[in-house]
Structure 1
Amino acid sequence: MATDHKQLNVRLPSQTHALAKANADRRGLSVQAYVSGLVEEDVDPARDAFVSGLVDDLTELLGEFEDAFEAGLR
């Protein structure tokens, strides 16, 4: 089954490119695969829904956390 891919060229500042390359190297990926993965994660609606739900859950638990632990002991 053929996959439809589009090419995207991105210009990055030298320092940003070096940091992206270092992160890709640590993961054993090419810079292209690393950046492609970041974009795919960012536009994934299931991931967005998961993160939104997680933020809502953690916000609800914040009050319980504050009640359980004194401010200076967190």
Structure 2
Amino acid sequence: MPFMEKEKYQLSSRCRLHPSNEIFRDQEEHKIHVDLNEWRCGYCKKVFRAEKYLDQHFDNRHYNLLNVVSGSVFTFLSI
């Protein structure tokens, strides 16, 4: 969040927007962009032709590795 970094604003660790509460953070860190049409899963090293297929792979094979807090996935409410 560039604005928050620029203003040196600190989020409470209890805030849903805090990076440690991001459920997909670990998966995003395990995406390896090898080449234009080559993505690799950092967990099992399987190779994909597009990032969207790697995302589907995470949903199907590595869902258990999501950063789920207190047994529930955070959802955002529309205002």
> Per the shorter chain, which TM-score range?
under 0.3
The structure with higher relative contact order (CA 8 Å, sep 6+) is: 2
Judging by fraction of residues, say which structure has more strand.
2
Judging by fraction of residues, say which structure has more helix.
1
Instruction: Tell me the TM-score normalized by structure 2.
Output: 0.23
Instruction: Tell me the TM-score normalized by structure 1.
Output: 0.24
